[in-house]
Structure 1
């Protein structure tokens, strides 16, 4: 699955990493729902770190559609709350 981190680039993340990403996505959702800025920042960082660790960075010149778009590491909580759907940032 191709994942874009806004302001950073794209990563090819294997499907087996989806469960791990969903755990971090749930933490982002919970922190945002609670309005806990500190927990939100930590959860978003963990989610993005997992994408970077489990995925392979694509060359910036590659034109590949993203299947999933995640916020930038410094995205404010209000901005991410607007991106959150019923299933968080990651459907499934």
Structure 2
């Protein structure tokens, strides 16, 4: 799966990492629902860091179609809410 993080580029993720990332996505959803700004910020950064840790960055000049687009690190709660699907940011594995 090719993932684009807004403002950071693209990362290739193996599907076997989706379950781990989905747990962070579920946590992020709970924090969005409750309006927990501090928890939201912590989990969003943790999720983006995990994508980088688990994935392989694509070269800056690569233009692969992204299967998933994630918000930038500075995204607000409202911006992330607008990006959600019924599964959250990540599809359920």
TM-score by length of structure 1 reads 0.97
Structure 1: 5+ residue stretches without partners: none
**Runs of 4+ displaced beyond 2 Å:** none
Alignment of 1:1-92 (within 5 A): 1-92=1-92
What is the deviation of 1:62? 0.4
Residues of 1 paired with 2:16 and 2:91: CA distance? Answer: 15
SS at match of 2:63: coil
Q: Provide the rounded CA distance (Å) in 2 between the counterparts of 1:29 and 1:85.
A: 11
Report the RMSD for the aligned CA atoms in angstroms.
0.6
- Secondary structure of the residue aligned to 1:62 is coil
Look up the SS of the partner of 1:91 in the other structure: coil
Q: Using the alignment, how far apart are the partners of 1:86 and 1:66 within structure 2?
A: 19
Structure 2 spans left out of the alignment, 5+ residues? none
